[in-house]
Structure 1
Amino acid sequence: MGDTLRAMAGLNYPKDKLEVLLLDDGSTDDTLERAAEVAREFPFIKVIEVKGGGKGKSYVLNYGLKLAKGEVIAVYDADNRPEPDALIRLVSMLSDETPAVIGKVRTINWNRNVLTRFICMEYLYFQLAGQAGKSMFYKTAVLPGTNFVIKRELLEELGGWDEGVIAEDLELSFRILARGKRIAYNPLAVTWEQEPESWRVWFRQRARWAAGNVYTVAEHIKRFREIPGWGLRIDLLLTLMVYYLLAVAVIVADVAFISLLIAFGNITWFTGLILSFVYLAFLSEVFAGLYDGRIKNPGCWLLTPFMYYTYSQVWIPISLAGLWEGRKAKKKWYKTPRTAV
């Protein structure tokens, strides 16, 4: 936590306009003590204990919104270390048409083990293909959970974050787009984030995200026509269903592959060509992400051919778990465990 707050203090942003609110939602370690030490050095940092917490991230964000004084609200998770120019790059792109701007998220602990390398690779190609691609074709993007700014005026008009959801970032994105507004993407505004280092923690995190997608689709599909433009509507629907589209694609590819193994003698050149194209397309996407992220570590590049057969396969049970959790009337917030940063 000390390093996170020092990264905030090191932002190249006018200090007379900078207000950092550390919202502590029932931490059980020495977060408050370490944060207080840093706050004594920088008067624009305030440490706040959230009253009546334990209700999820949306509740905490709304709690902080009531206390914040600025006209622009920036959101960073507690495990983030934004680069010095991150905030000013985000704010510089705000306008009436684009009242929200997002940046790029990089993995700070990418070299800890195989899982963190996979997560790093996933983030890189998702942001290249998803956020950058969406921004290029539709002039908009989707809010992540961290490293973004939004105009306070719009946020208050929308009623803040929805406290009944799990995926608060995706749900808020939908309401912003329904207003006819845009969300800009600035890949030069970078924050470094700590990711789960165990498969169990990662699985629970992603299952929660998938459940959030289920809720968002169920709540907003009836207002689908409010989104301006059919191209943007279809793209947003694909974004909402990303976990399930990926799971279905993996299942179809697996069934086709097994069928080919069983009937190897009957494989046609066309079928082999299609399966090869799908696999090569996956590899190309991941390699493009690694290249864009300037990852020179050979371990990541060598892991890429195995990513589909390991990491991608786990999306099937993740999607099923998300469907199971998403059907519940009451949403349970699962806080992802972190080590100190």
Structure 2
Amino acid sequence: MKNSPRGTAPSRKTARDLLSLGQLILILVIGTATLTCLVAWPRPAATVLVSAALLFYVLFVGLKLTLHIASRRYVPPAIEPVSIDDPDLPTYTVLIPLYKEANMLGSLVGSIDGLSYPKDRLQVLLLLEEDDTETRAEAIGLDLPERYTTVVIPDLAPKGKPKALNMGLAQATGVHTVIYDAEDRPDHDQLLKAVAAFRASGRDLACVQARLFFWNEDSSWITRFYWSEYVIHFERVLPGLSKLGLIPPLGGTSNHFRTDALRRTALSHDVLPPGAEGIGGWDPWNVTEDAELAGALAARGYRIAMIDSVTREEATARPGVANRQRRRWLKGFLQTGLVYTRQPYQTARQMGFRRWFCYNLLMLGTPVSLLLNPLFWGLTVIYVMTRSTLVESLFPVPIVGALLMVAGNLLFFYQLVGACVNRGGYGSIKFLLLTPLWWAFTSWSAYGVLWELARPSTRHKWNKTPHGHDLGKEKGQLIEISGAGTGMGHVPKPALRGRLG
């Protein structure tokens, strides 16, 4: 990787249009050819489709397995936090997008004020929507210090976090910029660690991200699976990507940026929503603006790294809210994958083919695997119940399909169990018997994404996740201990015993 970003910024696309003309033509050609073959030669055509799906599973499961193995060799850089008394500490902008979260504002301010950083070098921007009168009134009532500034986001489409962040970036004065959500409780020295990481690296390091950890693991069976998946993501997927030099998709919070890198990577002003242009560091049409930004930074020649720090969050505990949140994530992954495959040759040259391929395999492969899973579950059930030769004939090499099903499911289940053991979540292990239900639930969310993308009114809809239902659970859980597994920071859990995965 170069020590500085490329001098000429590549053309950055948005998710405003779901498909480019070329993608639309390609889909129509493939779709027409597939339907024609299914009508003319149904069994051979179906066999080809099944074979293509199996090839996809080989690539997707193979990538996940490779990341898991690579993560075991990942060691986070040993960087000591900069001293708070360092006279050369840079100014820092904290962006906090809020929407209908008046109940969170008081505890959030307490968390931000608890950061170990000179107060005179902090700029805290509260990004409040124009139609959110309750949160705006709460902000006024708190009589916040001078370093806090309220930025009112115009009530214009598309609504959502990326548009608010773009408005905030236009007013950011810090050398570095970090994003926190309403429920975030970052380690007190996180900003000092981020500054140290930037100082130890070249100008091509545009972003460092902290690890996210849920404090309310035991609220419901939903939170237990969220908690396990976050452990896997931040201790297996992201470290594995970092170890292999691939592109780690950013999470929506606790990302620390060089502010000038965000501005150099920004979208053209004329593609932003009129009346709320700001600076287009984030795609306002993409509902996972964080994952997309990782690709944009990589295409620009920048790197992303991890820091040994933790931000505690609150996982949603209700199925309905979880379904809407996962639909947003999966929809954004599809949007991102479609954007970065519009000009495959050009984008692959910008990112490097291996990085481009693996990035898009994660972005597109995650929702696609969830869409395919129920179909193969159905074929498996039919075959077990009927021993149908028709089903068997669809698999050119039946043993490959059987091995993929067994190996893939065992890998993902093994990771869930390993997360519970590594992080002391022993009470959640028995809930892993519900794993098939959880997988079915996530596939249900994936099919909901197709319905949302098919309708222009919901294509860019931001499914807001309410917070604050488990604030009480964070108290008494902030004892810091040494991390396990990959050493990715300190986590609020009991003493760890055992290691798996």
Shorter chain as denominator, the TM-score bin is 0.7 to 0.9
**Paired amino acid for 2:148:** I
CA contact (8 A) 2:186 2:310 kept: yes
- In 2: Cα distance, 1:201 partner to 1:161 partner: 24
- In 1: Cα distance, 2:219 partner to 2:127 partner: 28
Q: Does 1:200 align with 2:320?
A: yes
Partner of 2:461: 332
- Match of 2:342, SS state, is helix
Q: 2:305 aligns with which of 166, 171, 184?
A: 184
- Offset, 1:177: 0.9
- Match of 1:99, SS state, is strand
Following superposition of structure 1 onto structure 2, how do residues 161-310 of structure 1 map, counting pairs within 5 Å? 161-186=282-307, 188-225=308-345, 226=347, 227-248=350-371, 250-251=373-374, 254-255=377-378, 257-259=380-382, 261-262=384-385, 275-292=405-422, 294=423, 296-307=424-435, 309-310=436-437
Residues 337 and 26 from structure 1, CA distance in 2 versus in 1: closer, same or farther, beyond 3 angstroms?
farther
* Higher deviation after alignment, 328-337 or 8-17: 328-337
- In 1: Cα distance, 2:333 partner to 2:429 partner: 30
Q: 1:5 aligns with which of 102, 109, 119?
A: 109
| Cα offsets for 1:62-95 (capped at 9, x unmatched) | 1111222102110111121112122322333234
Residues 224 and 174 from structure 1, CA distance in 2 versus in 1: closer, same or farther, beyond 3 angstroms?
farther
Partner of 1:314: 441
CA contact (8 A) 2:265 2:300 kept: no
Residues 50 and 244 from structure 1, CA distance in 2 versus in 1: closer, same or farther, beyond 3 angstroms?
closer
Q: TM-score, normalised by structure 1?
A: 0.87
| Cα offsets for 1:275-301 (capped at 9, x unmatched) | 544333222211232344x2x243212
- Match of 1:141, SS state, is coil
Computed over aligned residues only, the root mean square deviation of the Cα atoms, in angstroms, reads 2.9
CA contact (8 A) 1:287 1:301 kept: yes
Partner of 1:23: 127
- In 2: Cα distance, 1:153 partner to 1:228 partner: 20
| Cα offsets for 1:177-199 (capped at 9, x unmatched) | 1112111122x221111222211
Residues 223 and 184 from structure 1, CA distance in 2 versus in 1: closer, same or farther, beyond 3 angstroms?
farther
Partner of 2:168: 64
Residues 98 and 328 from structure 1, CA distance in 2 versus in 1: closer, same or farther, beyond 3 angstroms?
farther
- Offset, 1:12: 1.8
- In 2: Cα distance, 1:124 partner to 1:52 partner: 36
Q: 1:323 aligns with which of 450, 454, 457?
A: 450
- Offset, 1:257: 4.4
Partner of 1:111: 218
- Offset, 1:10: 0.9
Partner of 2:191: 87
**Paired amino acid for 1:145:** G
- In 1: Cα distance, 2:141 partner to 2:213 partner: 27
**Paired amino acid for 2:284:** E
- Match of 1:221, SS state, is coil
- In 2: Cα distance, 1:213 partner to 1:269 partner: 31
Partner of 1:49: 152
**Paired amino acid for 2:414:** S
- Offset, 1:34: 4.6
| Cα offsets for 1:89-110 (capped at 9, x unmatched) | 2333234121111111111222
CA contact (8 A) 2:127 2:153 kept: yes
**Paired amino acid for 2:323:** F
- In 2: Cα distance, 1:339 partner to 1:299 partner: 23
Q: What runs of 5+ residues in structure 1 fail to find an aligned partner?
A: none
| Cα offsets for 1:115-172 (capped at 9, x unmatched) | 1111111111122222111111115411111110111112112222122222211221
Residues 28 and 128 from structure 1, CA distance in 2 versus in 1: closer, same or farther, beyond 3 angstroms?
same
**Paired amino acid for 2:430:** L
**Paired amino acid for 2:241:** K
**Paired amino acid for 2:286:** V
Residues 274 and 207 from structure 1, CA distance in 2 versus in 1: closer, same or farther, beyond 3 angstroms?
closer
Residues 171 and 327 from structure 1, CA distance in 2 versus in 1: closer, same or farther, beyond 3 angstroms?
farther
Q: What runs of 5+ residues in structure 2 fail to find an aligned partner?
A: 1-104, 267-280, 393-397, 472-501
CA contact (8 A) 2:115 2:189 kept: yes
- In 2: Cα distance, 1:200 partner to 1:286 partner: 22
- Offset, 1:334: 2.4
- In 2: Cα distance, 1:147 partner to 1:303 partner: 29
Which of the pair has more CA radius of gyration? Answer: 2
- Offset, 1:242: 3.8
CA contact (8 A) 1:246 1:315 kept: no
- Match of 2:343, SS state, is helix
CA contact (8 A) 1:214 1:326 kept: no
Q: Report how many residues are paired.
A: 336
* Higher deviation after alignment, 278-287 or 152-161: 278-287
- In 2: Cα distance, 1:12 partner to 1:120 partner: 27
**Paired amino acid for 1:191:** T
Residues 323 and 92 from structure 1, CA distance in 2 versus in 1: closer, same or farther, beyond 3 angstroms?
farther
**Paired amino acid for 1:311:** W
Q: Does 1:136 align with 2:243?
A: yes
**Paired amino acid for 2:299:** A
